[in-house]
Amino acid sequence: MKDGDIADDSRVRAAAPTLKHLAERGARVIVMSHLGRPKDREPDLSLKPLASDLRRRVGRDVQFAEDCVGDAATAAVSRLQSGQVLLLENVRYHKEDEANDSGFARGLASLGDLFVNDAFAASHRAHASVVGVAAYLPAYAGELMEAELAALHRALDNPKRPMIAVVGGAKVSTKVGVLRNLLKKVDALLIGGAMANTFFKARGWPTGAGLVEDTALDEADKVGSEGGDKLVLPLDVVCARKMEAGQPLRIMDAEKVEPEWMALDIGPRSVALFREKLRRAGTVIWNGPVGVAEIKDFADGTKAVGEAIAATGGFTLVGGGDTVAAIESLGMAGRFSHVSTGGGATLEYLEGKELPGIAILQEA
């Protein structure tokens, strides 16, 4: 959000059905959420501009409280009638939220009678607004939360075979746990994006001026050894001297990237290989673009892989903010079985970690 303009309301859209259904059943719906990591009450991080968008998505008037606890919140809740919606101010204006302060959690809980967690995207955080409130109120999963968990369970725990994962993005270090966990489950793991450079260098291949995570070379080497034939790297790459639109492009073999050139997308032979691996997939998990998809010149590989995933006819799960942004910009939205809103929470689930926001609901 910038200057009051909402850049991406995908999570508002995703949570709106739960809010709408609760309001239709006569509940007084109190919405709490966070935005950014404010050091103080930064106006640019206020949730107030979201009220009008939420009003449009839920289809009824949405009131706004200038704080999430204290007199302002209590007074706003006391005015709320059956079937009305109230949006509280950014919970992260209070440092106690991220600290999971029990007093702050009690203050939030005192505003309502039931706690409904529909924020899967925040459920990897042990914050007061995610787990603390559940200690003081009966706690339930919202419709979005249930859909996210059902999709992840179907893809990871009960997959139709063959099961293929496509993982891209920049860094091996942030996804090494995901890669290791997926390798235990999948029939093939296809690697793209800048992280492929780190795997290339770990094999002793030249990577030119491409982004390489030198501190993760040992991890890449271990994952490569553990993966064996399951781990599929690009055969060729689209290269440029600069990561800018309009640059001269060359296609090079993955093991022969020349000095001063950088790999910025997968090449045509890699696309053909990935398509063949995906062709009869029963389940596909996709996390991370396979090139610099935000620049049109380097988006062809991501678009081709996305098209191949959408065409499988199997269950397709897409996760990660960059991946979701890519399918939106490339016109592929709506073509996958489930698009996760999770970001970091999806990654941690794929890694096999327990999410505190989910664990507290299971206890409840």
Give the residue numbers marked as catalytic.
11, 171, 321, 344
The amino acid that residue 203 corresponds to is R
Give the separation between CA 154 and CA 156, rounded to whole angstroms.
6
Nearest to 176 by CA among 223, 113, 120, 243: 223
Please, what is the angle between helix 268-278 and helix 300-310, to 10°?
A: 10
Q: What is the largest CA-CA distance in the chain?
A: 68
User: What b/e readout covers 133-158, taking b as 16+ CB neighbours within 10 angstroms?
Assistant: bbbbbebebbbbbebbbebbebbbee
Q: Is 243 helix (H, G, I), strand (E, B) or coil?
A: coil
Q: Tell me phi and psi for residue 251, to 5 degrees.
A: -100, 125
Distances (CA, A) of 81 to 26, 52, 85, 247: 9, 19, 8, 59
